[in-house]
């Protein structure tokens, strides 16, 4: 007898949350990768400041992007 395959359907909220988490992880990894170059130019910058600038840059680009309406 064949077993039916049940595909799990995730609610839209979960999918959006997962995408948000992936973006945050990618931002953190980008900050880790780029911090040595930044600290070479600005020796007093902390990792937290650098990380915040990465996140702020993402938000600025998102706000300045033309709407798709």
Q: Taking residues 11-39, what's their average pLDDT?
A: 90
- Mean pLDDT taken over the chain: 80
Q: Calculate ∠ Cα 11-67-19, nearest 5°.
A: 30
Is the model's pLDDT at 61 over the cut of 90?
no
Cα–Cα distance measured from residue 55 to residue 48, given in angstroms and rounded to the nearest whole number: 11
Helix or strand run (H / E) with residue 48: helix 47-64
Whose structure tokens read 């993402």? 58
| Tokens found for residue 29 | 């990894």
Cα–Cα distance measured from residue 29 to residue 14, given in angstroms and rounded to the nearest whole number: 22
pTM of the model: 0.60
Q: Where are the domains of the chain?
A: 12-64
């Amino acid at each position: 007898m064949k077993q039916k395959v049940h595909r799990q359907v995730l609610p839209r909220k979960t999918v959006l949350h997962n995408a948000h988490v992936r973006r945050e992880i990618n931002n953190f990894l980008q900050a880790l990768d780029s911090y040595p170059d930044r600290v070479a130019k600005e020796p007093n910058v902390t990792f937290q400041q650098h990380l915040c600038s990465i996140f702020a840059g993402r938000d600025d680009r998102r706000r300045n992007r033309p709407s798709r309406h």
